[in-house]
Amino acid sequence: MQDHIHLLLKITSTITIASVVKNLKAPSSRFLNELTQSDFFEWSRGYGAFTVSKKDVSFIAEYIRNQKTHHDKGTVNPELEN
């Protein structure tokens, strides 16, 4: 999507969500700004995270794969988008 991203990650309990987000946002911002040679790209300050059960991993992965279609058709699942 052009204005947000969904990720499905498996992390251990010893790693904080904040550190994961920091380690994704900082280098990707630098990369995109170096690529375009500007300081235009910037992530929003906030983020959301939630846990899922093992049995839901396939469903969520499929939802993420089809995210553009869900947005285009208006079949967005509010529980997965908020």
pLDDT at residue 82, as a whole number:
54
Residue 57: helix, strand or coil by DSSP?
Answer: helix
Backbone angles phi, psi at 61, to 5 degrees: -60, -45
> Which ranges of the chain have pLDDT less than 70?
1-3, 76-82
Residue 3: helix, strand or coil by DSSP?
Answer: coil
Q: Which residues touch 72 (CB under 8 Å, ≥6 apart)?
A: none
pLDDT at residue 46, as a whole number:
84
Taken as a whole, the chain contains a residue count of: 82
Q: Which single residue is written with the structure tokens 């967005």?
A: 76
CB 41 within 8 A of CB 29: yes
